[in-house]
Structure 1
Amino acid sequence: MGWLTRSRQVDGGAEDKRPMDSEKKIRIPEGLWIKCSLCRQIVYRKEVEKAGKVCPKCNYHFPITVEERICQLSDPGSFEEFSQNVESVDPLEFTDSVRYTDRLKAAQKKTGLSDAIRIGECSIVGKPAVLGVFSFGFMGGSMGSVVGEKVVRAAERALEKRVPLVLVTSSGGARMQEGIFSLMQMARTSAAISRLHQASIPFFSVLTDPTFGGVTASFAMLGDIILAEPRSLIGFAGPRVIEQTIKQQLPEGFQRAEFLLSHGFLDMVVERGRLKETLSQLMCIFSSSGPSCKSLPVGGEGRE
């Protein structure tokens, strides 16, 4: 019998039933490890989730869902959503390769949201507030009529209750499928924020990666305090569009949160794990809660 066909013999001729080395496989459960988009390292998923979806190796802030953001910022069980059933229509009967109504249905099915923002009343470390959170997963977090309407309603509720307004943005800008109806929301939301300013109601704007276009050019940059997560990309037009337009190389880190902070466009860059505490401290500072509350130091990296 040729050596290629002979069975392995052990212990006096008994056939070895053990699997060959090439047949040995180690099964690793799917989704146990994830790859960081910044440092490209493979990291343990549970470790990332424990850190609030932040890479333990390079501090990269992974995108998170609206629900995760609400859980991170509001006290447990305190968030009470309102205006959740407001949905967009198709005023222009817009069609490119896909009808706008079909895009809306697909986004609603994907995210479970009626549109690209959720608003509600909540408490943040025991302090009442109105909170609005954008979903980039819903058509790029674009601002159409419904998003603009909800931002206005959130501002009006904050004015009515005389509590701070907190908006967490993640958006590609105005929603082109609604044309001028979308662009109108820039003026409407800015006017609503102006009414808060006139009534001395604080508005805290939290910018996350990415925040662009008509959202940046309207209410997002009108906060009494403007905060951002580390390395968030923030601007009006994207860096590639700017480079192609001006035919020049942009500075390193251009439009990142740290770059904007150093040039006076932001007040603070705050890591996700300290954001809730920082908002609570800011709410104390802007309130008349007494000397002990006002003396609290504000966390995060601020301007000198």
Structure 2
Amino acid sequence: MNRENLISKWLDNNLNDQELEAFKNLEDYDDLITLSESVQAFKADDYNTSKELENVLSKLTPIGVEDKKQHPRHWLKPLMRVAAILAVCFSLYYYTTTIDTTITTEFAQKTTIELPDASSVSLNAKSFLTFNKKDWKQEREVELNGEAFFKVAKGSSFKVITKSGTVTVYGTQFNVKQRDNYFEVICYEGLVGVTHNAHETKLKPGDSFLIIDGKTIAKEKENRTNPSWLNNTSTFKSLPYKTVIAEFERQYNVDITLINIDSDQLFTGGFAHDNIDVAIKSITLPLHVTYSKSNHTIILKRE
């Protein structure tokens, strides 16, 4: 049975079990269900067809008997009501099939989602990801602000668009981190192309692409099979201390103030995401920095 007949029988609640399964396998099944649910809120008032017809006929006057301007055509009202409902239905259908899907994480929150092609994305704290489900088969493309780890299913070109650059994927696993004045891509499997300032850099497993404050930073080969934050730990190798502080604030939802501390000094180390007291010691003891903590505020100070 073709698509139109399936939808027609569905609207009439007249699908058998086999036809119901075929209907559920339609490409726009989710959109049709969403549209149906939305339209329930726009149902017209109960309408007695026979009664309304009698009313219309009783009020119709042959042309020439009276000035037709004195008798408004009451049959227009129910017709306009139906037209209005149809307009709303088409508007809702267009809206629900073209709107982007956005996934957002808050402070100290992580989440993993599945994209329409079974690719998966893990979002780190304080990040958001946007994609269009309707256009996915024609264009596998997401917009990212924050940090995410991707496992991309094989298929057409897959792109991750950020404010700092575009990552083009050829079936792989990789991590993208785009924060204020910080842009990093690490390839863990397959091949990744990073376009920055109109220049593309190809990354193989273990390769990294890192730009901080507009400067390209060379990094050692990555030996891990996935980013540490997936295991609730943030690690850093010779990165500015301000980068460490910013990540700490995102993972623990705190505000940190530095006193007599150079935020550009390089730091190597890390901290866990499940114990703030242990974590704060992990980023202060190596630099001989003292700290005080009150509610959501932490002050780091060097005497």
Superposition TM-score, scaled by structure 2 size: 0.27
Larger relative contact order (CA 8 Å, sep ≥ 6): 1
Question: Would you tell me which structure has more helix in proportion to its own residues?
Answer: 1
Question: Would you tell me which structure has more strand in proportion to its own residues?
Answer: 2
